[in-house]
Amino acid sequence: MAQVIYGNQFQGGLVRIPPSKSAAHRQVLCAALSRGKCTLSHVDMSEDIQATVAAVEALGAKVSFDEAAATLTLDAANLGRQNAAIDCRESGSTLRFLIPIAAALGVSARFVGRGRLPERPLGVYGELLPAHGVEFRSQGGLPLELSGKLKSGVYRMPGNVSSQFVTGLLFALPLLEGDSEIVLTSPLESKGYVALTLSILREYGVTAQETPQGWHIPGGQRYTPHNCQVEGDWSQAAFFLCMAALSPTGAPVAIQGLDAASLQGDKACVELFRQFGLPVSWEGGVLTARNPRAREPFGGLRGITIDAAQIPDMVPALSVCAALSQGETRILNAQRLRLKESDRLAAMAEAISGLGGRAQAAADDARAANALELGRIAERPHEVEQRLARLHLGQALRGDPHCLEHDGDGAGLRVAVVHGERDALALLVDAQHDELARPYLLRDLGRAHRHARHLGIQRFHSFDGIHASPTLLVSETKAAPNCGAASCKDAG
């Protein structure tokens, strides 16, 4: 039994970053398309990855997961059933990657999803696939039914839609008999994700040649079985860099498990935090960050201008750093955040404004002005999902105990943060899905201690004198990273 304390007494430390979901999706699909036996190591079976694994199983692959070794084994010799029902849950990657793959395999498939996924746009596929031999039946979202077999040819599409559409076609078109072209009619956004796709395709023996407007994809290619280790997740690293930037004492943060040569676009967070004023460096393969000016006004941080077109998932972590930096930060080209699991652009502006900062979400950008004191508000519930929950944990480093109380649905995510002088909170974290879960907001300290024992929490931090900092007590069943990473299992 171990406890993790979040608050503004952050001490820093060392954390091993979880595996990248972006890389894991791609590795699972390439392994399945190899029609052989592949072993993937350093795999975290988050809900999105579970959705992709279930999808390849629906297509005929056999999959087993060794939780203790974090190893996934796929045998896809029988890939390509005639009919498949694919539940994508809330995973946009699963949906947009699997649609053209199913079409290329000639599978009659029905796609369903949950949460906001049925509302997310499929317009590009609705135009392209029927023009290339596939019957596409949808009312604009999910459920979606496909039949027929995809044909090679020229695929024209805008580059400013989700790069997931490009990646889906890059997976599927090499399987077709003839050569194909992807022609972009506008500049590509999220280039890093496409570069990651092309890199992983090469690992499995599949190539696509870049052209001035897109890619030429030779047909008749075969995916070669390949064992691999899933690389660490740069998008999650940004939240720990944010903690280093906002630490009121300049506590150091060291991050293991990242690839300095990674093609993940979110690696750009390193340079952006440097622009804010946070020194970041590599020491023996470990990314380290410490703010030596933490005790100065605004922690020595200064507002910057950020183009989010290539790094939309970085905006939550960057926005909370911006809210506590001197001057104004402008985050441009962030409009696609409105189409995520929640409207992240509006939610971030609301959260920062509600905590005492100044934030404005315009049609295509977000502005955040500095605020030295966050958190002096009345409680107000609103929807929240995983990345936004982490945003508020970052804000707690410089906040006071008057914080938001959240009650969100999404993927079963519920978050509560303490407010008031004598309130107590047990906030449980599910490591398997890397999501915060099940809040217990306890007004009476005696009841808090009794409830903690009921939950299996052996030691309970006293919240007397909570005026000093907002404190989150987290129970888990295995050792926690010593920097307080959110990686605990639900003990309830």
State the catalytic residues: 313
> Prior bond to 143 cis, omega within 30?
yes
How many alpha carbons lie under 13 Å from residue 183 in its C-beta half-sphere? 8
H, E, C per residue of the chain: CEEEEECCCCCCEEEECCECHHHHHHHHHHHHHCCCEEEEECCCCCHHHHHHHHHHHHCCCEEEEECCCCEEEEECCCCCCCEEEEECCCCHHHHHHHHHHHHHHCCEEEEECCCCHHHCCCHHHHHHCHHHCEEEEECCCCCEEEEECCCCCEEEECCCCCHHHHHHHHHHHHHCCCCEEEEECCCCCCHHHHHHHHHHHHHCCCCCEEECCEEEECCCCCCCCCCEECCECHHHHHHHHHHHHHCCCCCCEEEECCCCCCCCHHHHHHHHHHHHCCCEEEECCEEEECCCCCCCHHHHCECCEEECCCCHHHHHHHHHHHHCCECEEEEECCHHHHHCCCCHHHHHHHHHHHCCCEEEECCCEEEEECCCCECCCCCCCCCCCHHHHHHHHHHHCCECCCCCECCCCCCCCCCECCCCCCCEEEEEEECCCCEEEEEEEECCHHHHHHHHHHCCCCCCCCCCCHHHCCCEEEEECCCCCCCCCCCCCCCC
Question: Given CA atoms 443, 445, 447, 449 in this order, what sign does their dihedral have?
Answer: positive
Environment class of residue 363 by beta-carbon count within 10 Å: exposed (0-12), middle (13-18) or buried (19+)?
A: exposed
- What are residue 112's DSSP bridge partners? 87
Residue given tokens 């999959």 in the structure block: 63
Which tokens belong to 45?
Answer: 């079976």
Nearest CA-CA partner of 306 in 238, 403, 204: 238
Length of the chain equals 492
How many alpha carbons lie under 13 Å from residue 136 in its C-beta half-sphere? 21
Which tokens belong to 111?
Answer: 């796609």
